[in-house]
Structure 1
Amino acid sequence: MQVAFYAEQLYYLPQYLPVIQALRARGHQVEVMLRFDATVQTLFPDRRIPGLPEVRLVDSTVDAYAQLRRLAPDWAVFGSYLDEKENLAPGTRTALVYHGIGVKNVLFDPRLDRFDLRFVESQRVLDELLERNPALRPKLALVGFAKLDPLFSREASPASRGEGPTVLYAPTFYPSSLELMPRQLSTLLPGARWIVKPHFFSWTIDKYAAQRRRLRAWAEQPNVEVLGAQHYNLVPLMARADVLVSDASSALFEFAALRRPVVWCRFQKLRWNYRGLFSWRLKDRIDPQTHRYEAIASCIDRASQLPGALEALLRQPYHPSEEREDLVEYLIGQRDGRVSERIVDQLEQRSG
């Protein structure tokens, strides 16, 4: 069986990597394509992508589809929408391994219904998809969230035992808490080491210049490590962290799956066209029932509450409640390090 993966964005790759490894372990042919746009060229001028020694760098999505047609794999795997203007070879079927989880409504965009097979991470997403369109059932496979497999296939424990705590701050790009965070991170929690991993778009999109100014100021502070856009994979960072701070991002749910403490920043910087009369745009972007999932975290409404929240969570060994564990299972699915194996099983079974 031949399987091709197309990553339109660099940050889709962490979701693919465990599946690629599982496919190759079973002897299947794998091709990986990454859109090598101007931003990625700047990040990797030597054309070497960390974690992917063999990757086809394509100029555009049009180029990717052209190469997929020539390659004619059994399966073409995507991390987001299919391009409605493009087509594939007659024998190629399409599969979706979506690049994120969380509370953004894009998960339920009808354009994602066009795939021959969609891998679903959790019961929550499966229930919602079937409620919206019961006819999708034959196309859906409940497997879990493949990105986290490396953290459950071995004992992963924070590296800071015996030292000060490691705090991972991983905000999304919009709406984000980043610009409302304290200007001084290094003194916020005495003895702590901070790792700041912003979203790829915070570094690469012009309108987030204010976020970049804040990030560069933090980078000058002691005990604060600010990672650039070339650090596309959050998984190794989660393995190092004792606690995560984030906003309405996939990172919240991913880290909660590790049975470690999470601080959810409910404060966010909104542009004028997302406030007042235009607040409907925020509701379209973020699930308005987000509050249903807040039990996974310690929630704060102002940046000034962050030191107290961190101190409370780190004061003693963390033991998640049964309610939190049930909710995480509902949101992120099985946590057994075998999600990528179940994905390969499905691809094999449906290739007959």
Structure 2
Amino acid sequence: MKILFEHQHLYYLPQFEPVIIELKDRGVRNIFFSLSLSVPTIEKEIFKKEAARLEIEIIQANFEPQRRRIIKELNFDIIFIGNKSSLTDIKGKNSFVVMLYHGIGLKSSYYTDLNQNIDLICVESKERQIALREKKYNAIFTGFPKLDFKLKNEKKINDPFLLYAPTFFPSSLEKTIPLFSKLIDYNFIIKLHHFFWTKPKYILLKNKLEKEVQSFSNISISPFREYNIMNLFSQSMLLISDFSSTIFEYLIMDKPIIQTRYYTSRMKYKIFPSLLKKRIDEDRLNQIDFVFNCSEARELKRVIRKAIKNPQLHHKKRMEASDKFLGKIDYGCSKRILDAISDSGIIIGA
């Protein structure tokens, strides 16, 4: 049996890694990685180091079409994906394709970025399973494998901080940058979305942030190599984010979450606001009732004070939201995923 974990980006790996560990525990050895060759060198280098750490061979190629052709010719028994973009080109005649979403956030694409070449979609909640089955996809509620890793590898230090994790779009970052000079009473770690390091149009804003905070001893920016945000959860006092799936993932901590509803829009969305509505899952957004809301940048300091002073506020709502949006948190998600594949007629390890 040959199994491939297809990465469009490095940040898919935290979702895949617990499944890889479970496969190895079951005696599976022919596991391979592949990464889109369209990503920048900085991403390829870290991916190579991570593959070496996990002792997994990377499919080699000189250019992207060749990479996809090689994968298709290898006709993998199982292919794990986090996005459908390369699927048509890499799925072999006998390949069984499993979708593991890399996030659980607020994008409408969670319901549209799919096709019938996907044999099984493993989802984090019953709500998502029902929605996808209504669209005639073979979805099964397994939980979120990324959380298996978090629970087993929790680290703690003595200097808690505020974790600020803006997404790339719609993002609160540009409007938040000028506020840091007024927030010197708090220690921050800023965990930027992957694209702030790899996409030219977002790198400009990252550079602006770095310039702004370089003289502040209370603020540090998590380096690109620290790509798994979950390693920062247990050390933090609270989370500040906007439209990132981190808002849901952080529920496992039962700590305060501040959602910044302010953001910088792009010109096309200012002209055609309906396009932004199509991008965002409005129904899920409206279900977020477990956060401290911050609708204006100027209110952020006040909301931070309130959240720190009242950490148990929204506790009940956070617990309810965890059950609803994260499903089972019991170390067993990766096992359920492999069992679901076996139940589909694909015997793991055969």
Specify if TM > 0.5. Answer: yes
Q: Aligned equivalents of 2:335 and 2:284: distance in 1?
A: 31
- Confirm or deny: 8 A CA contact 1:65 1:86 kept in the other structure: yes
Write out aligned runs for 1:94-105 (5 A).
94-105=97-108
Write out aligned runs for 1:81-230 (5 A).
81-83=84-86, 85-109=88-112, 111-131=114-134, 133=135, 135-136=136-137, 139-153=138-152, 156=154, 158-160=156-158, 163=159, 165-185=160-180, 187-188=182-183, 190=185, 192-217=186-211, 218-230=213-225
Q: Name the SS of the counterpart of 1:32 in structure 2.
A: strand
Q: Does 1:349 align with 2:347?
A: no
Q: Aligned equivalents of 2:47 and 2:32: distance in 1?
A: 20
Write out aligned runs for 1:1-352 (5 A).
1-29=1-29, 30-37=31-38, 39-41=40-42, 44=45, 47-49=48-50, 52-56=54-58, 58-59=60-61, 61-83=64-86, 85-109=88-112, 111-131=114-134, 133=135, 135-136=136-137, 139-153=138-152, 156=154, 158-160=156-158, 163=159, 165-185=160-180, 187-188=182-183, 190=185, 192-217=186-211, 218-275=213-270, 277-315=271-309, 317-318=311-312, 320-350=314-344, 351-352=346-347
Provide closer, same or farther for how the CA distance between residues 113 and 224 of structure 1 changes in structure 2, counting only shifts above 3 A.
farther
- Confirm or deny: 8 A CA contact 1:8 1:61 kept in the other structure: no
Q: Aligned equivalents of 2:248 and 2:133: distance in 1?
A: 22
Q: Aligned equivalents of 2:254 and 2:116: distance in 1?
A: 32
- Confirm or deny: 8 A CA contact 2:12 2:102 kept in the other structure: yes
- Confirm or deny: 8 A CA contact 1:182 1:303 kept in the other structure: no
Amino acid at match of 2:282: P
Q: Name the SS of the counterpart of 2:50 in structure 1.
A: coil
Provide closer, same or farther for how the CA distance between residues 334 and 38 of structure 1 changes in structure 2, counting only shifts above 3 A.
closer
Q: Name the SS of the counterpart of 1:326 in structure 2.
A: helix
For residue 104 of structure 1, report the CA deviation from its aligned partner.
0.5
Provide closer, same or farther for how the CA distance between residues 268 and 88 of structure 1 changes in structure 2, counting only shifts above 3 A.
same
Deviations 1:276-299 (A, max 9, x none): x40011011111234422212111
Q: Aligned equivalents of 2:306 and 2:313: distance in 1?
A: 13
User: Between the two proteins, what is the percent identity of the paired residues?
Assistant: 27
- Confirm or deny: 8 A CA contact 2:164 2:188 kept in the other structure: yes
For residue 20 of structure 1, report the CA deviation from its aligned partner.
0.6
Provide closer, same or farther for how the CA distance between residues 194 and 178 of structure 1 changes in structure 2, counting only shifts above 3 A.
same
Aligned residues: 342
For residue 129 of structure 1, report the CA deviation from its aligned partner.
1.6
- Confirm or deny: 8 A CA contact 1:259 1:320 kept in the other structure: no
RMSD of aligned Cα (Å): 2.5
Q: Where does structure 2 lack aligned partners over 5 or more consecutive residues?
A: none
- Confirm or deny: 8 A CA contact 1:186 1:194 kept in the other structure: no
Q: Where does structure 1 lack aligned partners over 5 or more consecutive residues?
A: none
Provide closer, same or farther for how the CA distance between residues 282 and 45 of structure 1 changes in structure 2, counting only shifts above 3 A.
closer
For residue 68 of structure 1, report the CA deviation from its aligned partner.
2.6
Q: Aligned equivalents of 1:188 and 1:110: distance in 2?
A: 39
Q: Name the SS of the counterpart of 2:68 in structure 1.
A: helix
Amino acid at match of 1:248: F
TM norm structure 2: 0.88
